[in-house]
Structure 1
Amino acid sequence: MDRLSAEGVVLWLDDYHRGRLTDGSLERLVADGLVGGVISRPAAVARAVADTAAYRNQLRGLSGAAVPAEERVYALIAEDARAACLALEPVYRATKGMHGWVSLGIAPGLAENARAMADHSRRLAEMVGRPNVLIRIPAVGKGLAAAGDVLAHGVGVHVTSVYSVQRYAQAVDVYFRGLERATAGGHAASAVASLVSLDIGHLNARVDALLDGSADPRAAALRGQAGVAVARLVYRRYEESLGGPQWRSLVADGARPQRLLWTSENAPDSPRAALDRLEGLIAWMSLHALPQQALEALDLREGFHGDTLSGEHGAARRALDAYGWAGIVFDSLAHELETAAIENERAAWERLLTMTQPN
């Protein structure tokens, strides 16, 4: 872990649910300095509702109060986030708000309604009532428009479903303009946080599946490299975004950089595979989300020697050219992955709605 910290990498817990609180594992991970943030996903909460008793008492109370289905889900995840925010508050305070954040999402069925997404995001942040909460909003549909409105109201945003440099650049622009609107409205720029996540594991898995069906003899040598190539180009765009006059003006007002978070949300794998992927995604100020088993396996892992993203954009562009020779068009692939990500989130949300119905 010390080697990653020396490279400016901070790890997040990616499979957070209330069971991580009741068994003390989140508190232990924070105390050991292993995590600087957590992500609450409906799929993880649904598994915990099915497999543990962690939510039983709250669900019983909500059932007795005849609370609508979606409000029950919001009540569950808001309570989870509030407890996680408190667990991470020492990190948040010690780093002056740079780390110690908790990400949770709104109903994915709102993706085509910017106003509804913004309203639900602000209300969910109010339900949590902690300064270190981020509301997760997908970059698909009207998501980026909603993200800008939420940021303008001083609420932190975690932008998801990003699989290309072009979409990432749009998210950066939304953050900058959202910060400008927030400060014009009287919010302190230093209190408005944002990050953008790229599901590198899912991207790799999809590209590798396409390569398996390619007749090009060079295809086999390209397996497992797509995610790192895109990450290197995105990181280059991140560095460029911090060199322009718009950012210099914002940082003079106290703004913080919009962080990059690498995930593997839709490609579950072994702790070893997760740590192998981490080794190719090391760069200053970057974040990496890992499941608990991978975090606990860090002490057994060697490697993590040096920055593997910075200055590698030339090689990354050549790699994407090679994928083009194999018939893979990344623009259309990114759109496909964005659509699949929101559908996966929608399915998980629907499962959670069903599971929290009164008996």
Structure 2
Amino acid sequence: MSEILKRLSDEGVAIWLDDLSRDRIRTGNLAELVRDKHVVGVTTNPTIFATALSKGTAYDEQIKRLSGEGVTVDEAILSITTDDVRDACDVMRPAFDASGGRDGRVSIEVDPRLARDTQKTIDEARTLWDLVGRENLFIKIPATLEGLPAITAVLAQGISVNVTLIFSLERYGAVIDAYFAGLEQAKANGHDLSKIQSVASFFVSRVDTEVDKRLSAIGGHDDLRGKAALANARLAYELYEQKFAGERWEALQAAGANPQRPLWASTGVKDPSLPDTLYVDELVVEGVVNTMPEKTLNAVADHGKITGDTVHGTYDEARALLGALAGIGVEYDDVVRVLEDEGVDKFEASWKELLDTVTKQLEIHHP
């Protein structure tokens, strides 16, 4: 058992795995990660499923059956992904029970092609929730402008939500407001607020990728490289503290509501010149989730430097860093706008990859 990961967990950071495959479930690997690496949650996305489907034979039997039934590609994807997520939910159930429903959750994403369609996102969220049929599920909804009312509407039905694709502080504030509105409606609808959980997935590494690309184009300013992502995430935590201390939240809390935890997503370091555990070591603070690819998880287990809280006391420095970037022409609002647009495009591209993969598999196994 990793002592470093135990230390991270003891500091109040929930460790989730950003990966899932049928092999991982069937071989007992996921259960081993829960036991040995303090993993208490799982996140998925279309790329993860496409990768899993393109390797090995774990899905052959199901695809052969689905092909024989003459299902559409979309129906096949729905069946395959919800089966995996349901089984993963069952593996994670002990962590769910041990944490009082806070952790032990598995996330499944609505079709990213619906990211700009509020009503279709709501409908698909309900379909996924009912199909998986496990209370330790999270439905992932992107924090696009069209996604915000969908987040509220889905929460209002008593469904737990992982809000994904958050880059900007302004949008994060709107996500928290959407969460509050959803809980208020859920209460009015007679739902038990204590059963509803949510996380807000703030993307980390992509901010450095975009900012550092712009710094390279400007030239110089090496002292500002590899710092914007941490500054942005730390200011997100400051905003979380502010919003979850107001009267609106206190009223919901009195009714049994749970805070919507910040989740650090995209924590694999993409720049080889930066420490490979950077977005874990430097974002340690009570009450957050860090979802890691297995490579990052193993790196932290091996040589992470967990030295206590690395978020409180950094807010002024973070603001100064973003100010310095603005001063040389790296405009924050433009960076986060580009990242959101790219994020939606990347999710759609990975969904197309998943569609193509399943289409080929159905053709191969057609009776």
Q: Which residue matches 1:315?
A: 317
Q: Does 1:42 align with 2:46?
A: yes
CA distance in 2, matches of 1:65, 1:268: 42
SS in 1 for 2:161: strand
Alignment of 1:245 with 2:271, yes or no, is no
Aligned pairs (5 A) from 1:317-336: 317-336=319-338
Please give the per-residue CA displacement for 1:203-238, whole angstroms capped at 9, x wherever unaligned. Answer: 1111111111114x4x21000000110011100000
**TM-score, with length taken from structure 2:** 0.93
Distance in 2 (alpha carbons) for counterparts of 1:20 and 1:273: 27
The amino acid across from 2:137 in the alignment is V
Q: Are 1:124 and 2:137 matched, yes or no? A: no
How many angstroms does 1:95 deviate by? 0.8
Counterpart AA for 2:333: D
Amino acid at match of 1:90: P
- Aligned counterparts, 1:287-326, within 5 A: 287-326=289-328
Alignment partner of 1:200 is 2:204: yes
Compute the displacement of 1:141 (Å).
4.1
Which deviations, in whole Å up to 9, do the C-alpha atoms of 1:109-167 show, x marking residues without a partner?
11222111101001101100000101111111411111111000011111111111101
The CA deviation string for residues 11-67 of structure 1, in whole angstroms up to 9 with x for no partner, is 110122222112321010112252111011111111111112121111111111111
The CA deviation string for residues 243-300 of structure 1, in whole angstroms up to 9 with x for no partner, is: 1011111111111110111121786577x94422211111110111111233234332
- Normalised by the length of structure 1, the TM-score is 0.95
**Structure 1 residue 345 and structure 2 residue 347: aligned?**
yes
Q: Secondary structure at the match of 1:51?
A: coil
Let me know the Cα RMSD of the aligned residues: 1.6
Alpha carbons 2:43, 2:107 under 8 Å: kept = yes
Map 1:60-75 to 2 at 5 A.
Answer: 60-75=64-79
Report what 2:173 is aligned to: 169
User: After the TM superposition, which residues 1-359 of structure 1 pair with which residues of structure 2 at under 5 Å, given as runs?
Assistant: 1-215=5-219, 217=220, 219-264=221-266, 273-357=275-359, 358-359=362-363
- Name the CA distance, whole Å, in 1 between partners of 2:213 and 2:327: 16
Deviates more, 1:74-83 or 1:15-24: 15-24
For residues 48-98 of structure 1, give each alpha carbon's deviation from its aligned partner in whole angstroms, at most 9, with x where no partner exists. Answer: 111121211111111111111112111111111101110110000011111
Identity %: 36
Distance in 2, Cα, partners of 1:232 & 1:298:
20
Give the conservation status (yes or no) of the 8 Å contact 1:204–1:225.
Answer: yes
Task: Report deviation, 1:341.
Answer: 0.6
In structure 1, give the amino acid aligned to 2:254: A
Alignment partner of 2:356: what SS? helix
**Structure 1 gap segments, 5+ residues each:** none
CA shift, 1:311, in A, is: 2.9
- Distance, in Å, in 1 between the alignment partners of 2:57 and 2:271 is 26
Is contact 1:202-1:266 (8 Å) kept? Answer: no
Q: How many residues align?
A: 356
Q: Quick one: distance in 2 between partners of 1:114 and 1:57?
A: 35
Secondary structure of 1:307's aligned partner: coil
Q: Is the 8 A contact 1:236 1:311 kept in 2?
A: no
> Counterpart amino acid of 1:233?
L
Which runs of no fewer than 5 residues in structure 2 stay unpaired?
none
User: Could you say if the C-alpha distance between residues 221 and 269 of structure 1 is closer, same or farther in structure 2, counting changes exceeding 3 Å?
Assistant: closer
Equivalent position amino acid for 1:252 in 2:
A
